[in-house]
Structure 1
Amino acid sequence: MDPPTHRSLPRIHRISARPGPKEDVLIIGAGPAGLMCAFALARAGVFTEGVRIVDQRPNKVAAGQADGIQPRTAEIFKSYGLSDRLLKEGTQLHVAAFYNPSKSGGIELTDRVPDVTATDTNFPFEVTLHQGAIEAIFLDNMRDMGVEVSRPVVPTSIEVDEDLVEDSDAYPVRVEYSVVLERTDSEPEDEEHNEIVHAKYVLGADGAHSWVRKHMRIAMEGEQTEYIWGVLDLVPSTNFPDVRNKCAIHSNNGSCMIIPREDDKIRLYIQLDESGLGKDFIDDASGRVDKSRAGPEMILDVARKTLYPFSIETPQSFDWWTIYIIGQRVAERYSVHDRVFIAGDACHTHSPKAGQGMNASMQDSYNLAWKLAHVLKGTVDRTLLKTYELERRKYAQDLINFDKKFAKLFSGKPHSELNSNGVSHAEFLQAFQTFGGFTSGLGVRYDESLIINPKHQHLAQKVLIGQRLPPRPLLRAADCRPTNLHDLLVSDNRFKLLVFTGDTHEPSQFTKVHEFAQELMHMASPGSFFAGFSSLEAMRAVFDIVSISSEKKETIVYNALPRILWSHWSKVLVDDIDMKGITDSGKVYESLGIDTTGAVIAVRPDGYVAAIAPLDATGVAHLTDYFANFIKPC
C-alpha cells in the first residue's frame, strides 16, 4: 500500500496512542480482493468482533480501475446471490470484433466472433462494470450484515512471532497502524491515534505496491515489458460501427482495445510505445510512469490515428484515465508461516487486456476465505491453509505465461504487405479462442493435493477432478420444478456430497442406495468418517448432501430415499425432462459420464470437484480417507 498523499488524508493536528483489540483476521486493503474475503467470512458466520477490514483510502473507488467480470466470477457472484445486481448495473459483452490494417492505410473489419468461447456456463459472456460499483455491491451487502470498512487506516509496522505460529489459539501477528478520525463539532481538529493489534491471521490485499508484501520481504519475480499503454473512460461520439462490442484493433500506428461499459461509456486501451510518445511519459530515474507528463487529450490523439478512417470526438469530460507499463510478475510466495497472506495484485501483476486482474484477485481471496473460515471454526486442521499458495500461485504462474503470449500478440506489429513477419489475424484469433477457457476462469484446474484426490476419475469421466463443477439442468423430485445444479452449490462454506443414486426405480439399485446410506452412517460396519460427528446437525453444518436420481419423474417417491441422503425435500433431484419438455434437462448422467450404477461427487465449498467415490462401502472408505486428512468431526 503506497503512503497516502496530502490530498488523500485529512490534515493531522494531534496524535494519541491507543491500545487495539485482538483480531482473528485483519484484512489490509478494501479493494475487490479484500472485500471478497471480508464478505465471504461474513457470510460464513465468522466475521464478528474478531475480524476487521481496513483501508487507507477515505472512500471507495469512484471511477475507473478494473471493470471486467468473467463467467467464473459471475458464477461466484450467483452463488452468493449477488449476480442479479451485477447484471442489472453492468453491460454484457457477447461479441468480439477484430480490425486490422486495410490497403487504404487505415483499419477495416476482419471478423466478429463470440466474446466468450466457453458455452458450459450460465454466463456465456463478460460483464463490465467499474471497480467502484463492484466494491459497492460488496459494501452494501456487508453493511446489511453489520460489517463496515475502517477508513482511513494506514499500517506502519508488522511482525510475526515465530514461537507462536503453530499454536492455533495464539495471535502471533503484531500490526501497528494509524487511524485518522475526521473532525466533529466537538473536536474541531482532525485527530490521529495509533493502534497495536495482535491477529491470528492477516491478509494483505493492498494492491500492486503492497505494503504487506514489502514489509514481509516477499519478492516479486518476473519482468517489465517495453509495452506502454494509455487508458481512457469516456462516453464516445464516434462513427466507429463496433463501439458497443468488444474490439481488438491492430493498426500500423499501434494497437487498441475497446470495452463497452455501463451508462453508455466505453474504455479505450491505446498502445503508446508504437506512437513514439510512450517513452516521453517514463521517468528516467525510477523507470515508472509519470502521469504529470501526459493527459487524456494526448492519449485520445493517438487513438484517433489508430482508429483511422473512423473518427472520435473529444468529450466534454473524461470519466477516468491512466498510463501504465505492462509488468508480468508473481510473488515468490503467498504466505509467511501460513499466518500472513497476500492476494490479488499484491501477488501477481499482468496486462489488463485479457480481463484477469480483478477476477484473479477476487478468486484468490474466495479460495482463501472458506479455508480460513473452517480453520477459525475449528472444523479443519491448519494444514489446509497451505493449499492456498499451492493452488493460487500455480494459477498465477499459468496466468503470467499466458499473459506474456497474449500481450506480445496484442502489442506486436500487425501483418501487412510491408511487414510479413507481423501478427496475423489468424494467429491472434487462434490465441484468443485457444485461451478462452483460461480467460473465462472456467478452465482452471487445481492439481492433486490434500484436498484434491484424483482417484476414481473413471466413475464420472466428463467431470474433471480439480475443476469447477459445471451447471446442469435438473428437476426437483418433489414438485418437478426445473432447477440447476449450480443453484445447489451456494457459497455457504459447506462441502457438497452429490449422491448420484442411479435408477432407484430398480429394486436392486434401491437396495444398493440404502446399503450405502447405512455404511455412511456407521450402521452396518465400523470406520465411517461421517459417524464421528456428534449429531446429524453437526454433520450437516459441514456437509450438504444432495441426491440425484435417474429414475423417471412419474415414478420417483423422493421421501423413500434414505433420510441421510437429503437435508431438505428440495435436495432430491431427478435427471429427467420437465413436464412441458421445454428445457434441456434429462441428460445430466450422460453429460457428466456417470453410469447407472451411480457415484458420489464431493464438491468443495468453492465449487471445485474434490473427489469421486463409488456408491458402495469402498466409496465410504474412500471418502473417509479423503476427509479424515483435514476435517475434524465434532
Structure 2
Amino acid sequence: MQFHDHGYVSGDPRVEPAAGVGVDRPEDLPDRVDALIVGAGPAGVTALAQLAQFPNVNARLIERRPDRLAVGQADGIQARSVESFQAFGFANRLTEEAYRIYSMAFWKPDPLEPKHIVRTSLVPDDPQGVSEFPHLIINQARVQDYFAEFAANSPSRATPDYGVEFLGLRVTDRAHHPVDVDVRHTVGPRTGEIRTIQAEYVVGCDGARSSVRDAIGRKLVRQAAMHAWGVMDVLVETDFPDYRTKCAIQSHDGGNILLIPREGGYLTRFYVDLGEVAEDNDGAVRQTPLATVVARANKILHPYSIQVRQVTWWSIYEVGHRLTDKFDNVPADDETRTPRVFIAGDACHTHSAKAGQGMNVSIQDGWNIGWKLGHVLDGRAPATLLHTYSAERQVIAQDLIDFDKEWSTLMATPAEELAEPSSLEEFYVKTFEFPAGFMTQYGPSMLVAEPTHQHLAAGYPIGKRFKSALVNRVADTVPIHLGHHARADGRWRIYVFADASSPGIGPVNDLAAWLETDPASPLKAHTPPDLDIDAYFDVKVIYQQRFEDVDLRLVPRVFLPRAGKRSLVNWEKVYATEDGQDIFEEREIDCGGAVIVVRPDQYVANVVPLTATEELATFFDGIFIQSRSSR
C-alpha cells in the first residue's frame, strides 16, 4: 500500500483524501445525479465502489432495505473474486474471516448397500494452481460491507442511500440527465414521500425480480426447468465425517446435497435438493416447511444424520437458468443510441446454486459497468464505450449458464446412470478454471485488440484476466506479485517487459522517451495537464536482469514519475527477476520484450512489441477522448 504522497498520514491510510463530490457530500439523496444504482447487492456495491474512485462523478446507490444486509443467500467466493478484492484492498482481511476450501469430497450410494452413501473421492479444489488466491466461503453480507467501506473511504465518500425504493423510470429526450427515476422513501422523516430523481445513467442491480429490468422492457428468459432448493445455515450434532469439508452428495434416489462449511468453525450451509418445479406450481414450493428440508437432508445422508441445534437462516427458493437478451435499454440493432439504463447481476442472469456463480458473476458485472461509466462521466471516453458492457457481459453469462446446465445435470443424475462412476469428479477437476472465474475471455472490440502479437506474451492471452506472478521490486528488493500492486482506481496498466538490454539503453529507453514526451503518447494525449503524469495510466517496467543488477540511476524517468502536491518520486514501478522467480519464463514472454496493456478491471487488452508506438497510440486513441490541452 502506498500513501504519504500528499503528505504525512497518521491515521488509517485506507481513507483517501476527500475530493470532488466527496467534499461536503450531501447526506440526503439529491434531485440530480450522474449515476443512480438501484440495489445494494454484490453488483450494486461493486459498481458504487468503483465509481467512488472518480471524484468528479456523483454516483448514488438506493436500496429499499432500511439498513445493510445482515444475512445473504450467497456464500461462495471464487478465486477470481478474491483477485478482485485485492484490487479493492480487502482480500487479506476477508480471507482471514472466511472458510477456505482446499478439497471437495464426493459421496455416492454404496454399491453394496445403495441406501447408504460412501465417500468415493476427495479432490483438490484448485488442482492446476490457476491462482495464488483461495476459494472461500463467507457470508455475502461481509463482502458487501467491505465494498461499502471501500466506497466510503474513496475520494467521493460514497455511501448507500438506504430506505429508498425504486418505483419506475422514463428515458426522456433531454440532453443531460435524461432519465427520470421515481422513488419513495421508506424510512425516516420522509417516509412515504415520492420523488423524481434525474440521472445521466441508471444501473439496475435489484435482483431476479428486477423492477428496473421491467421498466426497460427486458425479460429473463428461462432456458431450463426451475429447480427448488431448501437452503439452511445450521449448527448441528452429526456423525457425518466430512461435515467440515465441501461435499457433493448423491443419494440412491437421485436427491442430492451440496454441503458448504461456513466461516467460524461450526456453521455449515446445506443446499438440499427439492427437485424440479412444475410450470403451474405458482410458488407453492416456497411454502415447504423447515422440518421437511431437514428430513430430506437426513434421508440423503443415510446412514449418517444431523440433529439441528440452531438454524441461523433458512429459505426455500427456486433457481433456473435464465438470461435477458441484452443488458441495457437500447435495441441490439441500434448502435446509434447511447444506452442510459443498464442491468447487472441477478437482474439479467440467474444460475443454480450448484455452480456457485451468482455473486461472483455479479461482482464482475458491477466492476465492468462501474469503470466504464466512470470513464464516460469523467470525460475520459466517449459514450460509445458503454455499448461494450452488454456485448461483453451477456456472452459471459450465457457461457456460465451452459456450464451450469452441464454441472447441474451431472449432479442430479443417479450414480448408476453416469457413464463412468467418476464422471462427476472428473468433470469438476477438468473444468475447474471455469467456475473459478478464469475462463472469461472478451473478444476483439474497441477495448480488446486483435491477437496480432500474442506470440510475444503467450501466457497473457488477450481478453483474459492478467495472471499475476512474482517479481522483485528493485527499490527495496521485496518480492511481490506484480498484479497485486494494481488497485481498482480506474487506471489502465501499461506493463513494459524489457528486452535483454541493461537499463538506459535499447528499445525500452526509446519507448520511455516516447511515452514521456511525444504528443501521440497516451500519457501526453489523454492525461489532463493539471494531473499527475500517471493519473490515467500506471506504467511499470520489468527487467530481465536480477534485481541487484538494475541500476535505478539509469532507469528512464517515466518509470520513476513524480506525484502528489510535493512532487515525490514513486519508487514502486521498477521490477526485475530473481532466481526461481522469472516472470518472463512463467508467462512465456518473448526475450525481445513486449508491452502488455491491462484494463482497469484486470483484463489484458493488448500485447504489442516495444517498438510499436504508433500501434499503441492508435489503440488508446480509439478509447480515450483527446485531452483538453497537451501536457
TM-score by length of 1: 0.87
Q: Provide the residue aligned with 1:335 in structure 2.
A: 328
Asked if 1 retains the 8 angstrom alpha-carbon contact of 2:328 and 2:390, the reply is: yes
Q: Provide the residue aligned with 1:555 in structure 2.
A: 549
CA RMSD after TM alignment: 2.1
Q: Provide the residue aligned with 2:289 in structure 1.
A: 295
For 1:380 and 1:143, the matched residues in 2 are separated by: 25
Q: Provide the residue aligned with 1:348 in structure 2.
A: 349
Asked if 1 retains the 8 angstrom alpha-carbon contact of 2:493 and 2:537, the reply is: yes
Q: Tell me: CA distance 1:493–1:529, structure 2 relative to 1, closer, same or farther (3 Å).
A: closer
User: Which of 154, 159, 162 is matched with 2:165 structurally?
Assistant: 154
CA shift for structure 1 position 599: 0.9
For 2:125 and 2:401, the matched residues in 1 are separated by: 21
Asked if 2 retains the 8 angstrom alpha-carbon contact of 1:225 and 1:325, the reply is: no
For 1:176 and 1:461, the matched residues in 2 are separated by: 50
Q: Helix, strand or coil for the counterpart of 1:217?
A: coil
Asked if 2 retains the 8 angstrom alpha-carbon contact of 1:296 and 1:318, the reply is: no
For 1:531 and 1:173, the matched residues in 2 are separated by: 35
CA shift for structure 1 position 506: 8.1
1:394 matched to 2:395? The reply is yes
Q: Give per-residue Cα distances to partners, 1:67-112, cap 9 Å, x unaligned.
A: 1110000011011111122112211111100011102230001000
Larger deviation: 406-415 or 464-473? Answer: 406-415
User: Which of 75, 78, 83 is matched with 1:70 structurally?
Assistant: 78
1:450 matched to 2:428? The reply is no
Asked if 2 retains the 8 angstrom alpha-carbon contact of 1:229 and 1:323, the reply is: yes
CA shift for structure 1 position 286: 5.6
Q: Give per-residue Cα distances to partners, 1:440-471, cap 9 Å, x unaligned.
A: 01221111111100221111122101001111
For 1:118 and 1:58, the matched residues in 2 are separated by: 44
For 1:174 and 1:506, the matched residues in 2 are separated by: 56
1:573 matched to 2:575? The reply is yes
For 1:621 and 1:529, the matched residues in 2 are separated by: 11
Q: Helix, strand or coil for the counterpart of 1:231?
A: strand
> Superposed, which structure 2 residues align to 1:377-388 within 5 Å?
377-388=378-389
Q: Provide the residue aligned with 2:247 in structure 1.
A: 247
Q: Helix, strand or coil for the counterpart of 2:168?
A: strand
For 1:377 and 1:506, the matched residues in 2 are separated by: 36
Q: Helix, strand or coil for the counterpart of 1:38?
A: helix
Q: Provide the residue aligned with 2:179 in structure 1.
A: 173
Q: Helix, strand or coil for the counterpart of 2:433?
A: helix
For 1:19 and 1:430, the matched residues in 2 are separated by: 52
CA shift for structure 1 position 566: 3.8
CA shift for structure 1 position 222: 2.7
Q: Provide the residue aligned with 2:624 in structure 1.
A: 631
Q: Tell me: CA distance 1:522–1:506, structure 2 relative to 1, closer, same or farther (3 Å).
A: closer
For 1:459 and 1:506, the matched residues in 2 are separated by: 20
Q: Helix, strand or coil for the counterpart of 2:496?
A: strand
1:541 matched to 2:535? The reply is yes
Q: Provide the residue aligned with 1:437 in structure 2.
A: 433
For 1:326 and 1:479, the matched residues in 2 are separated by: 51
1:110 matched to 2:103? The reply is no
For 2:270 and 2:222, the matched residues in 1 are separated by: 27
CA shift for structure 1 position 569: 1.6
Q: Give per-residue Cα distances to partners, 1:227-280, cap 9 Å, x unaligned.
A: 33211110121111111111011111311110000131111111123xxxx76x
For 2:86 and 2:185, the matched residues in 1 are separated by: 35
Q: Can you give the 5+ residue segments of structure 2 that lack an aligned partner in the other structure?
A: 1-27, 331-338, 562-569
For 1:134 and 1:424, the matched residues in 2 are separated by: 39
Q: Can you give the 5+ residue segments of structure 1 that lack an aligned partner in the other structure?
A: 1-17, 184-189, 416-420, 578-583
Q: Provide the residue aligned with 1:28 in structure 2.
A: 38
Q: How many residues align structurally?
A: 576
Q: Helix, strand or coil for the counterpart of 1:236?
A: strand
User: Which of 46, 53, 56 is matched with 1:43 structurally?
Assistant: 53
Asked if 2 retains the 8 angstrom alpha-carbon contact of 1:173 and 1:200, the reply is: yes
Q: Helix, strand or coil for the counterpart of 1:45?
A: coil
Q: Helix, strand or coil for the counterpart of 1:309?
A: coil
CA shift for structure 1 position 527: 4.6
Q: Tell me: CA distance 1:257–1:286, structure 2 relative to 1, closer, same or farther (3 Å).
A: closer
**Quick one: which amino acid aligns to residue 609 of structure 2?**
P
Q: Tell me: CA distance 1:443–1:122, structure 2 relative to 1, closer, same or farther (3 Å).
A: same
Q: Tell me: CA distance 1:224–1:443, structure 2 relative to 1, closer, same or farther (3 Å).
A: closer
For 1:38 and 1:331, the matched residues in 2 are separated by: 23
Q: Provide the residue aligned with 1:83 in structure 2.
A: 91
For 2:548 and 2:68, the matched residues in 1 are separated by: 54
For 1:521 and 1:59, the matched residues in 2 are separated by: 48
User: Which of 315, 319, 327 is matched with 1:326 structurally?
Assistant: 319
1:613 matched to 2:608? The reply is yes
Q: Tell me: CA distance 1:37–1:590, structure 2 relative to 1, closer, same or farther (3 Å).
A: same
> Superposed, which structure 2 residues align to 1:482-497 within 5 Å?
482-497=479-494
Q: Give per-residue Cα distances to partners, 1:45-82, cap 9 Å, x unaligned.
A: 345xx221111112333224101110000011011111
Q: Tell me: CA distance 1:544–1:560, structure 2 relative to 1, closer, same or farther (3 Å).
A: same
Q: Provide the residue aligned with 1:4 in structure 2.
A: none
CA shift for structure 1 position 137: 2.0
1:604 matched to 2:599? The reply is yes
User: Which of 452, 459, 463 is matched with 1:462 structurally?
Assistant: 459
Asked if 2 retains the 8 angstrom alpha-carbon contact of 1:20 and 1:195, the reply is: no
Q: Tell me: CA distance 1:229–1:488, structure 2 relative to 1, closer, same or farther (3 Å).
A: same
Q: Tell me: CA distance 1:536–1:25, structure 2 relative to 1, closer, same or farther (3 Å).
A: closer
For 1:529 and 1:86, the matched residues in 2 are separated by: 36
For 1:107 and 1:298, the matched residues in 2 are separated by: 20
TM-score by length of 2: 0.87
For 1:246 and 1:425, the matched residues in 2 are separated by: 20
Percent identity reads 33
Q: Tell me: CA distance 1:19–1:450, structure 2 relative to 1, closer, same or farther (3 Å).
A: closer
CA shift for structure 1 position 153: 1.3
CA shift for structure 1 position 180: 2.4
**Quick one: which amino acid aligns to residue 37 of structure 1?**
A
Q: Provide the residue aligned with 1:131 in structure 2.
A: 140
Q: Helix, strand or coil for the counterpart of 1:175?
A: strand
Q: Provide the residue aligned with 2:228 in structure 1.
A: 228
Q: Give per-residue Cα distances to partners, 1:541-598, cap 9 Å, x unaligned.
A: 1101001001233321023121123432211000123xxxxxx41x211112122211
Q: Provide the residue aligned with 1:5 in structure 2.
A: none
Asked if 2 retains the 8 angstrom alpha-carbon contact of 1:98 and 1:247, the reply is: yes
Q: Tell me: CA distance 1:566–1:301, structure 2 relative to 1, closer, same or farther (3 Å).
A: same
For 1:536 and 1:518, the matched residues in 2 are separated by: 21
Larger deviation: 190-199 or 239-248? Answer: 190-199
Q: Provide the residue aligned with 1:7 in structure 2.
A: none
Q: Give per-residue Cα distances to partners, 1:132-169, cap 9 Å, x unaligned.
A: 222222233434453322221122220002x34xx5xx
For 2:548 and 2:160, the matched residues in 1 are separated by: 52
Q: Tell me: CA distance 1:155–1:528, structure 2 relative to 1, closer, same or farther (3 Å).
A: closer
**Quick one: which amino acid aligns to residue 591 of structure 1?**
E
For 2:584 and 2:241, the matched residues in 1 are separated by: 45
Q: Give per-residue Cα distances to partners, 1:292-316, cap 9 Å, x unaligned.
A: 3x2222101011111111121122x
CA shift for structure 1 position 353: 1.5
Q: Helix, strand or coil for the counterpart of 1:398?
A: helix
Q: Helix, strand or coil for the counterpart of 2:387?
A: helix
